[in-house]
Amino acid sequence: MKIMTFGASNTKNSINKALARFTATLVPGAEVEVLDLSDYDLPIFSKDLEKEIGQHPTAKAFFEKIGAADGVIVSFAKHNGSYTTAYKNLFDWASRIDQKVFQDKPTVYLSTSPGPSGAASVLASAKGSAQFFGVDLKAAVAVPSFYDVFDAETGLINEPNALADLTAAAETLAPREAA
């Protein structure tokens, strides 16, 4: 089973990318591919630019990565209570290829921040619109106070409740055996 994962941020040492990567390791038997949104730099989307250049190849590459995966884990970073510009722009370009950007792939949504909300506002926004973008949302988990629950040296979540929530979310992506 191939799990494609990314943090919805272009920050070099994104805590959301670290959370997504860690959670992907909890999917039993998964082959994990971690994307870095810094590799998907695009001009700001506009209908005028799209009319001029068509579908951007970088957006196509991102869309194809989702299509090639068996499941997706994305962890949303929060900028002023909403999506980061890097993610929103990439998403806007990809949605012009097909509005169902996530292509009905089983998906886990995560979010985290250094503070006590765990970026819950952006996670709520993502959950609210998931049905419109081809997301087969299996679970959603906000992890508050990231630096208090994550061990940077080992790359592991060390707080039992957060670990239990993330493990349960990851297991929703595991293949089910036929009865």
Token pair, residue 113, equals: 């921040």
Q: Is the model's pLDDT at 116 over the cut of 80?
A: yes
**What is the predicted pLDDT for the residue at 149?**
96
Categorize the per-residue pLDDT at 177 as very low, low, confident or very high, splitting at 50, 70 and 90: low
| pLDDT over 60 at 178, yes or no | no
Inter-residue contact 72 to 66 (CB < 8 Å): yes
- Residue 137 is predicted with a pLDDT of 98
Which structure tokens are listed for 57? 């190849």
